[in-house]
Amino acid sequence: MTVRIMGIDPGLQCTGWGVVEATGATGISFLAAGSVRTGSRMRLSDRLLKLYDGLASVISTWQPNEAAVERVFVNSNPASSLKLEQACTIALLVVAKSSLHCAEYAPNTIKQSIVGVGHAGKDQVRFMLQAMLPEMIQNVGKDSVDALATAICHARHARW
């Protein structure tokens, strides 16, 4: 059974996305990756709409069967945490409006699934993804790398 999975790494300034096809837990193929960027000078409502429209376009183009979103974490700045949560809510909304099953994964779960260590660094995650997905473009941004890792994490945890 082959499942197309869209991974999303939410962020207000840059939301990364990645699409893979999974055949079981180990057969994973890279399809596409990118990001939706918003300008810091844009009104919040316009930024959220741009995230929604950008992710909806990716779903329309790549037609995933399922989605996975990196769960946000609370940091020391409450205002930043709130903005990040708003971006996450938009990601969940666009996925729900597309009638896709969606799973959420904590960052440590994603890293554990990719590297084998829950507190791995971003460079370690990128290195492992390039080993797993040799066709992955070298200049994929860090947000897209996190989104691809989220999609692969879902492929390894989902029960089809």
Q: Considering 21, 70, 104, 135, which one is annotated as catalytic?
A: 70
* Residue 143: active-site member: yes
Q: What are residue 19's DSSP bridge partners?
A: 6, 32
Phi and psi for 132 in degrees, rounded to 5?
-75, -35
Q: What is the Cα–Cα distance from 57 to 9, expressed in whole angstroms?
A: 16
Q: Considering 9, 21, 66, 146, which one is annotated as catalytic?
A: 9
Q: What is the Cα–Cα distance from 130 to 52, expressed in whole angstroms?
A: 29
Q: Considering 21, 66, 143, 146, which one is annotated as catalytic?
A: 143
* Residue 46: active-site member: no
Identify whether the C-beta of residue 144 lies closer than 8 Å to the C-beta of residue 126.
no
Active site members: 9, 70, 143
